[in-house]
Chain A
Amino acid sequence: MRSERLLEVKNLRTSFFTHVGEVRAIRGVSFYLDKGEAIGIVGESGSGKSVTSMSVMKLLQYPGRIVGGEITFNGKDITNMPEKEMQSIRGNEIAMIFQDPMTSLNPVYTIGNQIMEAIRRHQGLSKRKAREKAIEILKLVGIPSPEKRVDNYPHEFSGGMRQRAMIAMALSCEPNLLIADEPTTALDVTIQAQILELMKNLKEKINTSIILITHDLGVVADVCSRILVMYGGLIMEEGKTEEIFYNPKHPYTMGLLKSIPRLDLGENKRLVPIEGSPPDLLKPPKACPFATRCPYTMKVCEEMMPPYFEAEKNHRSQCWLLHEDAPKIQVDTGVKRGSIS
């Protein structure tokens, strides 16, 4: 059962047709997700990580549109699925948690009402049954005295509790897939730790698959077993969490690891930033999007898009450095296996 495919995305391309031209936010993204698995998508703002999740949810708003590719969910092709059918999947089989719990809850309805809406819509329960279920699920996500809290409005909840309520809502129909778009970015570290712990526990309990989107490498290291690193609308590197951290193959991944200070390491080495800034996707570079910022740029990098090279099994990277004729580079990112003292 474990290695059953839940979601497969093939060569997905999404663009936004603005008045200044076509912004190619995703330019051919392929990945898969097994049942019960948690993967992380890491990248900076504008790398296309949120647009990827919105495309999977088919929640793109005008002027955004999927231009090509295929999304298969649970064996069904949902790429061109009519909106009506999509609605029965969305919220029921695929659920989403957004970054800002403040703006994604409706301030004029009680928390209970908002959770019950999803339950009643998808499961056709009576009002009373739905309410019981809402209380049960609030309890599951760790809201104290849920019988009372269910009648509270969002403003009566704190930030962490609102995010818990969002998770409760997303989980109310026991979805197969939970997409969490920066679920902890707006929260404080101690609350972030609570929410991450909750997500890990829920994954075990109801065997939901998770796509966790974040820019924080520490967060994905905690929750996910596989990581996709996105940059300029492409997946630059994909691999098991350990591989990405201990044996990164793409200079962008290495750069990310080098540019964050480590709390646990005593030495104060100067941070190594990635110079420059991300590409403009209105006029995406025809070759490697990272070439202008990469310390190892070769001639070929500026002329041809690199294909995916397999470094190990299930570890691929879109970089010319992995070509057999390329010079071998050795980089110390500071993240090493067995560095625990």
Chain B
Amino acid sequence: MSNTNVHLSKKDKNICIEVKNLKKYFLIKKGFFEKKIQCVKAVDDVSFYIKKGETLGLVGESGCGKSTTGRTLIRLYEPTGGEIIFDGVEIGKMPEKEIHPFRKKMQMIFQDPYASLNTRMTVGDIIGEALDIHKIAGGKERIEIIHDLLAKVGLNPDHAIRYPHEFSGGQRQRIGIARALAVKPEFIICDEPISALDVSIQAQVVNMLGDLQKELGLTYLFIAHDLSMVRYISDRVGVMYLGKLVEIADRDEIFKNPAHPYTKALLSAIPIPDPEILKTRQSILLEGDVPSPINPPLGCRFCSRCKYAMKKCSEVEPEMKNLGKGHTAACHLL
């Protein structure tokens, strides 16, 4: 690790990861010479931090850039701009060779347990692959670690010699979690880890993620579109819309006093499993669809669907405003 990249964070030693003005643009190329014609601003100027041992929930509709944010954060995508500070070290522009030790500290759990496990490898090899790459253990010790991990996620050590197709969705997701835990990470990105699972299995996996966090002191970035589950698992929640972070606050604060009109609409759109409440509550129906991120509206990106939109909204982009108690939102109304 070179010392030139060490960013001495004066503020807080408790911060696990911080991003400043993170940008990720995808260029659309056309023709033989790969002429760059357009660019999709998947993540545009997003800043937030996650404290150690904390869970930040990131919500938003599909295409809003929440998964891209997660993937850029651990350098699965190269950021177009901005800083990523992990444990006080700037890793956003670090060359691949130097980032290797950091990969061990950051892991990811993927959405689709059917696609994220190699069908030709045994469960033991899937989990052990990370141990091999980072040269953590070999021989007997490696097997022991694998067995321990399987037990930790509620599977049987005998399962190590089986193949992924022999497992159900919930069990596969457990294998994915065991794989992420193999290198003893500090920070795990959970990218929609439960949305492919059945309702009765979701609670099992969520409870396990919670237990592991307490036991191992993990920090989570929990990406999901299911707001009720996000409320359950997160300490703080960020809401994204079309590549922008529009609001971020403590969990209770954001659910009780949502400030941004989009957050309000999102919260009111969730079906609550209680017929009486559904009858009485007023839901805010948003008109239309999310605009294309290729040509996002000028000014506030939500202005085309916002019922409070003023003239200013389509001209000037709103900045994040501090509303106190760590609650910030980007809206001209505030």
Q: Which chain B residue shows the least CB distance to A191?
A: B289
- Interface size of B by CB at 8 A reads 44
Judge if B286 is at the interface, Cβ distance under 8 Å: yes
Question: With a CB–CB cut-off of 8 A, which chain A residues contact B225?
Answer: 188-189
Q: Quick check: B289 and A160 within 8 Å, CB to CB? A: yes
Contacts of B201 in A (CB 8 A): 44, 273, 277
In the complex, A271 has a CB within 8 A of chain B: yes
Q: Decide: B276 and A260 in contact? CB cutoff 8 A.
A: no
Contact, CB under 8 Å: B266 / A268: no
Using Cβ atoms and an 8 Å threshold, which residues of chain A touch B252? 266
Q: B231's contact among A196, A261, A277, by CB below 8 Å, is which?
A: A261
Chain B: which residue is nearest A336 at the CB level?
B274
Contact B278 A188 (CB under 8 A): no
B61 contacts A273, C-beta separation under 8 Å: no
Interface of B is mostly: helix
A190 CB contact (under 8 Å) in B199, B203, B204, B269: B269
Once bound together, how far apart are the Cα atoms of A4 and B260, in whole Å? 47
Q: Is A218's CB under 8 angstroms from B203's CB?
A: no
Q: Check A338 for interface membership: any CB of B closer than 8 A.
A: yes
- Is B3 close to A, CB under 8 A? no
Q: Are A260 and B228 in contact (CB under 8 A)?
A: yes
Q: Residues of B contacting A242 with CB < 8 Å? A: 275-276
- Are A259's CB and B276's CB within 8 A? no
How many residues of A are counted as interface, with CB atoms below 8 angstroms from the partner's CB atoms? 50
Determine if A271 and B232 form an interchain contact, defined as CB atoms under 8 angstroms apart. Answer: yes
B280 touches A (CB below 8 Å): yes
Known: A263-B231, A271-B232. A338 touches B272 (CB 8 A): no
Given the interface pairs A241-B275, A256-B200, the reply to whether A277 lies near B280 with Cβ below 8 Å is: no
A218 to B270, CA, bound (A): 8
Judge if B294 is at the interface, Cβ distance under 8 Å: no
Is A158 part of the binding interface, using a Cβ–Cβ cutoff of 8 Å? yes
User: Which residues of chain B come closer than 8 Å to A6, judged between CB atoms?
Assistant: none
Mark interface residues in A200-224 (1 if CB within 8 Å of B CB, else 0): 0000000000000001111101100
Check if B145 is an interface residue, CB within 8 A of chain A: no
B119 on interface, CB distance cutoff 8 Å: no
Pair A335/B200 contact, Cβ less than 8 Å:
no
Q: Give the chain B neighbours of A241 by CB distance below 8 A.
A: 275
Binding site for A on B (CB under 8 A): 61-62, 168, 170-171, 198-204, 206-207, 210, 225, 227-229, 231-232, 252, 255, 265-278, 280, 283, 285-286, 288-290
Binding site for B on A (CB under 8 A): 44-45, 144, 158-161, 188-194, 196-197, 215-219, 221-222, 241-242, 245, 255-257, 259-264, 266, 268, 270-275, 277-278, 335, 337-340
Q: A194-B285, A266-B252 are in contact. List 8 more A-B contacts (CB 8 A).
A: A215-B199, A218-B273, A221-B271, A261-B232, A262-B272, A264-B277, A277-B168, A340-B276
